[in-house]
Amino acid sequence: FEDGRSDKEILDNLLLPSRYDKRLIPPVSGNCSYMSGFSVNMCAERENAFNPELQTPSSSLFLFGSFFLQTPVASHSTLTVNMSVLLLSLASPDESSLKYEVEFLLQQQWFDPRLQYWNRSQYDFLNAIHHHKDVWLPDTYFIMHGDFKDPLIPVHFALRIYRNGTVNYLMRRHLILSCQGALDIFPFDDPQCSFAMESISYEESAITYVWKNDEDTLGKSPSLTTLNAYLIQNQTIPCPPKGSWRVAYDCLKVDLIFTRDRAFYFTTVFIPGIILVTSSFITFWLEWNAVPARVMIGVTTMLNFFTTSNGFRSTLPVVSNLTAMNVWDGVCMCFIYASLLEFVCVNYVGRKRPLHNVVYRPGENPVTQRLPAVLSRIGIILATPLGDKKSDGAAPNEIVTCTNCGPNPCTHTANNGCATEVRR
């Protein structure tokens, strides 16, 4: 092309319908020919085809002023499309969700000898963003468990054509992936998200996808942003034969492995649960007949635990199998319920056949005095009955009944000079 021509004029000439058919896959080097009224030029060698810096006249396919016609030639070679992914942002609606939003730039690069040109002016590449409907593009399709957040046809993209025929196609994609996690050990699982890219219409014999520069991990933008998404590992691999959706089509796979914020679950689930369970144990240090205090503590802790656990479980995915969170909730509820049951049993034993006119010294407990008799009725014999202890008249554990007060409540003590009857 002569000096002074614009990139639009060059593209208009390259993409003339008489010489370029966007329906045909780019011919592989050595398997196509171009004809003109004055000369016949064979396809340029593919050496350094993917190097955009290659800008030598020898790589040109045609002479200015010539009229080119493509003649179909049988070809058994495969077009190679180089792929690369640059992560831009990662997000999740909340900590417990298995849906992750992934935003990235997908770069596809291939060699099309029909688009080689020699320009002696300033153009290192041609901006073909307004000619993308006239250029052959690989019909790359995403295979995933999820959905597109933006339209299926990309809105934000870039298309560059270099002098040696290298085409660089860059587009922005935003996917919503449904990931897989081991909910039986939630929240100590690591969700894994995967998606694959393959051609929708060209089989493996026509198009082969490869990772650019044999990259085994995804590139990350310096300004990568994350929200409730903690990426710990990623890998880029060819699709395994057993994992491919269609065996005859070549594809590439991306695996993203996330982890969860353990501190979030300890501060919102485990530590509050431990506090509520230990709070229910306070009733063990209260008097057996302190009914209002025992009932208030037991019922309050039970209701608070139900409220917090149900509020958190409403955000979890619904599954039919037993999960680690169900086990945690069940154990905590059993401990709280056991504290309530202990209060009922102790109160019942303390009120069973009360002895009239009985005065208990400080530290004495009527429940422990009657517990051996109650247990013996149900067939449980204590090795050392709590009430079967010999003591002196002034011992603190003896039961003293006043013979002077009769059936009336007694307010005397053992050393007040009254006639007493001592039970040992």
Q: Which domains does the chain have, with CATH numbers?
A: 7-260 (2.70.170.10), 263-351 (1.20.58.390), 355-424 (no CATH)
Helix (H) or strand (E) segment spanning residue 329? helix 324-351
Query: Which of 24-38, 61-75, 327-341 has maximum average pLDDT?
Result: 327-341
Distance between CA atoms of residues 1 and 118, nearest Å: 6
Q: What are phi and psi of 100, to 5 degrees?
A: -125, 135
Above 70 in pLDDT, residue 296?
A: yes
- Residue 332: exposed, middle, or buried by beta-carbon count in 10 A (0-12, 13-18, 19+)? buried
Run of H or E residues at 254: strand 251-259
Strand (E) or helix (H) holding 10: helix 7-14
Across the range 106-132, mean pLDDT stands at 85
111 contacts: CB under 8 Å, gap ≥ 6: 26, 29, 46, 49, 50, 79, 80, 164, 165, 166, 167
Cα dist from 16 to 160, 179, 300, whole Å: 18, 46, 81
User: DSSP label at 15?
Assistant: T
172 or 216: whose pLDDT is higher?
172
**Does position 318 have pLDDT exceeding 50, yes or no?**
yes
Confidence band (pLDDT; 50, 70, 90) for 417?
Answer: very low
Range 11-26 average pLDDT: 89
% of the chain with per-residue pLDDT over 70: 67
**For the ranges 75-79, 204-208, 214-218, 335-339, which has the lowest average pLDDT?**
75-79
More confident residue, 325 or 413: 325
Alpha carbon 99 to chain centroid, angstroms: 7
Confidence tier at 241 by pLDDT (50, 70, 90): confident
Helix (H) / strand (E) containing 309: helix 291-313
Please, which residues bridge with residue 172 across strands?
105
pLDDT of residue 36: 31
User: Which residue, 293, 290, 268, is CA-closest to 279?
Assistant: 293
Show the tokens assigned to 36.
């003109």
pLDDT at 73: 40
Q: Are 69 and 35 in contact (CB under 8 A)?
A: yes
Average pLDDT for 299-323: 80
Q: What is the mean pLDDT of the chain?
A: 74
Integer Cα distance of 364 and 370 in angstroms: 12
pLDDT band at 110 (very low <50, low <70, confident <90, very high): very high
Q: What whole-number distance in Å separates Cα of residue 324 and Cα of residue 326?
A: 5
The answer on pLDDT for 369 being more than 80 is: no
Q: What is the pLDDT of residue 358?
A: 55
Query: Cα dist. 217→72, 87, 137, 220, 241 in Å?
Result: 39, 11, 25, 9, 20
- pLDDT confidence band for 375 (50 / 70 / 90): low
> Residue 370: is its pLDDT beyond 80?
no
Point out the least confidently predicted range of 40-44, 147-151, 161-165.
Answer: 40-44
- Per-residue pLDDT, 44: 40
pLDDT top residue among 365 and 72: 365
Report yes or no: 400 and 420 within 8 Å, Cβ to Cβ: yes
Under the banding of pLDDT at 50, 70 and 90, the label for residue 154 is low
Residue 121: band (very low, low, confident or very high) from pLDDT cuts 50, 70, 90? low
pLDDT at 41 over 60: no
Q: What is the pLDDT of residue 159?
A: 93
HEC per residue, 86-124: EEEEEECCCCCCCEEEEEEEEEEEEECHHHCCCCCCCCC
Who wins on pLDDT, 67 or 142?
142
> Residues 101, 104, 108, 109: what is their CA dihedral angle, to the nearest 10 degrees?
-160
Note the pLDDT tens digit of each residue in 332-343: 999 999 988 888
What tokens appear for 412 in the block? 């005397």
State mean pLDDT over 234-243: 82
pLDDT reported for residue 387: 45
Please give the average per-residue pLDDT across 234-245, as a whole number.
80
- Give mean pLDDT, residues 153-176: 88
Residue 119: predicted pLDDT: 62
User: Distances from the Cα of 63 to the Cαs of 13, 67, 119, 166, 281, in angstroms?
Assistant: 12, 9, 11, 19, 93
Please state, in angstroms and rounded to a whole number, the distance separating the CA atoms of residues 351 and 377. Answer: 16
Give me the pLDDT at residue 302, please. 87
Burial 22-54 (b: 16+ CB within 10 A, else e): eeebbbbbeebebeeeeeebebbebeebbebeb
pLDDT, average across residues 79-94: 91
pLDDT interval class at 294 (50, 70, 90): confident
Q: What is the pTM of this model?
A: 0.66
